[in-house]
Amino acid sequence: MAAYLWGNITVTDPALYDGYRQQVPALIARHGGRYRVRGGACEVLEGDASAERIVLIEFDDMNRLKTFYTSPEYRSLIALRQRASHGSLFAVEGVAPG
C-alpha cells in the first residue's frame, strides 16, 4: 500500500534551503519516491493552519518511506533542511487500491 511523506515547511534561509532542494530529488528517486506536490500554490480552506511550502512524496509502502527517511544520506540533508527551515513532516499510509 502506498505511503506518503507530507511536509509543511517554512523556509527561513532561502539560499541554504536551495542547497537542500537541489540535492534531495535524486535521493528520493533512488528510494522509489515520486513527488506528487512540491511547493506549488496552496490555500487553506478550513481551520487556522498556515500553509507554507507543501510537499507530498509518494513511496510504494511505509517501509520504503522509512528506509529513505532514516538513510545515512538523508540524515545529513535533514540537518541542512532544519538549519534552513522549520515545519512538520508526517508519514501517512494511503488506502488500498480498489
pTM of the model: 0.92
Dihedral of CA atoms 49, 74, 59, 64 in degrees, nearest 10, equals -130
pLDDT confidence of residue 79: 95
* Cβ neighbours around 92 below 10 Å, total: 12
In this predicted model, what pLDDT tens digit does every residue of 43-92 receive, in sequence order? 889 998 888 899 999 999 999 999 999 999 999 999 999 999 999 999 99
In this predicted model, what pLDDT tens digit does every residue of 8-56 receive, in sequence order? 999 999 999 999 999 999 999 999 999 999 988 998 899 988 888 999 9
